[in-house]
């Protein structure tokens, strides 16, 4: 269950997810990134190349993430043979080494439940969430699909700040750019390759 204090925030994130392509075509600052599954490393890298990278970071980013590392866990959903999952996992391992964050796998069913509770679109794996180690129901999504490491770092920082009580409107604007670059769904049993 998601902490009720964050429900309006997370619904705002979901609304911005759906609005991002419309806003982008109107010339606003949120560029549209093609969302959906990728089935090759080249396709994933082409999509990631279209994602704007965060350039400016707060001065307290490293200090904040290191200070909250022992109290925070980043959870990620995954599936076998998922290129974006492997990409996101490698980036999380870099963030783990850099800041000491706890990283854990998230059960597929729990990822689906969390997404449904917030009205977030289910595009596929990976989905990344941040929560306090001692509060499994206080979750904040930080990525739908893989993303550039700079953007994952930004979203992680914003989620940690939100969990610590920072005004949500600022963080919602920052986290509204999920890429949706996810793994191709597994082939049904008995399906033949074409």
At 34-76, the pLDDT tens digits run: 678 898 999 999 999 999 998 889 999 999 999 999 999 999 9
Q: Is the model's pLDDT at 23 over the cut of 50?
A: no
Euclidean distance between CA atoms 127 and 120, whole angstroms? 11
Q: Is the model's pLDDT at 94 over the cut of 90?
A: yes
pLDDT for residue 167: 76
Q: Is the model's pLDDT at 33 over the cut of 80?
A: no
**Chain mean position to CA 46:** 19
Helix axes 7-25, 108-118, angle to 10 degrees: 80
* Per-domain residue ranges of the chain: 4-54+62-181
Reported pTM: 0.77
Q: Which of 12-16, 25-29, 146-150 has the lowest mean pLDDT?
A: 25-29
C-alpha distances out from residue 161 to 52, 70, 81, Å:
22, 15, 33
CATH architecture of 4-54+62-181: 3-Layer(aba) Sandwich (3.40)
Euclidean distance between CA atoms 140 and 129, whole angstroms? 5
Q: Is the model's pLDDT at 108 over the cut of 60?
A: yes
């Amino acid at each position: 269950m998601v902490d009720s204090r964050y429900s309006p925030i997370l619904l705002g994130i979901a609304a911005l997810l759906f609005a991002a392509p419309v806003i982008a075509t109107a010339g606003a600052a949120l560029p549209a990134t093609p969302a959906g599954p990728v089935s090759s490393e080249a396709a994933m890298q082409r999509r990631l190349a279209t994602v704007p990278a965060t350039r400016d970071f707060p001065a307290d980013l490293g200090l904040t993430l290191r200070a909250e590392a022992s109290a925070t866990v980043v959870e990620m959903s995954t599936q076998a043979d998922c290129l974006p999952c492997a990409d996101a996992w490698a980036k999380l391992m870099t963030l783990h080494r850099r800041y000491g964050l706890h990283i854990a796998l998230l059960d597929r069913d729990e990822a689906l439940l969390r997404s449904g509770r917030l009205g977030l679109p289910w595009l596929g794996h990976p989905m990344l969430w941040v929560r306090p180690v001692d509060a499994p129901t206080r979750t904040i999504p930080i990525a739908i699909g893989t993303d550039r490491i700079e953007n994952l770092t930004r979203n992680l920082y914003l989620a940690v700040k939100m969990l610590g009580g920072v005004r949500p409107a600022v963080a919602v604007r920052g986290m509204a750019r999920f890429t949706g670059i996810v793994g191709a769904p597994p082939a049904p049993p008995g399906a033949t390759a074409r």
